[in-house]
Amino acid sequence: MRVVREIKQRKPFASKAEEAVVTLLRTTDVLRRRLGQVVEPRGITLQQYNVLRILRGAGNEGLPTLEIAARMLEQTPGITRLIDRLEAKGLVARERSSDDRRCVYCRITAAGLQLLSALDAPLRATIHRTFHAVNKQELARLVDSLDRLRDEARKKKEEP
């Protein structure tokens, strides 16, 4: 019940599921801040890093803006503004499709690739240090459990 102490909660959780939600959200925040400490000194946010990572994976073809949005780890309605900022930094280039003028393709630039390359090792080291206390079997179970939770959450769209 360490999360109870961390958030200074006085009452017990109504269920283990509620405790799990709070623990997961708290852990997500801690991980996000820790990874942010690696990327933010390089002048980008974790969301911007995610866009660059997606575009690196897309290769020279690039991706339409809406496809980038669909692949984001955190869904964001502000994908255009996010890409605007990356373009202003010279990390992403945009080009309108000749077939469909409404479609804008985004590609990572050489500067964007260089930035990601510089971040690869420090991010891997941070992730390794963060997860060193969890063995491979526990990690596999965690990933499986989280996959099942996401699947279930997507299925049941209940009213609050």
Q: pLDDT by residue (tens digit) across 123-146?
A: 999 999 999 999 999 999 999 999
Q: What is the Cα–Cα distance from 119 to 126, expressed in whole angstroms?
A: 11
Q: What is the Cα–Cα distance from 92 to 114, expressed in whole angstroms?
A: 12
| Contacts of residue 102, Cβ cutoff 8 Å, sequence gap at least 6 | none
Report which DSSP code applies to 2.
H
Mind listing the domains of the chain with CATH numbers?
14-155 (1.10.10.10)
Query: What is the DSSP secondary-structure string of 26-61?
Result: HHHHHHHHHHHHHHGGGT--HHHHHHHHHHHHHGGG
Residue 101 in tokens: 């003028």
* Least confident interval from 26-40, 54-68, 87-101: 87-101
What are the distances in angstroms from CA 71 to CA 51, 53, 96? 9, 10, 20
What's at 90, amino acid-wise? G
Q: Rounded to two decimals, what is the model's pTM? A: 0.86
- According to DSSP H, which parts of 59-135 are helical? 65-71, 79-88, 110-131
Residue-level pLDDT at 61: 87
The mean per-residue pLDDT over the stretch 47-54 comes to: 96
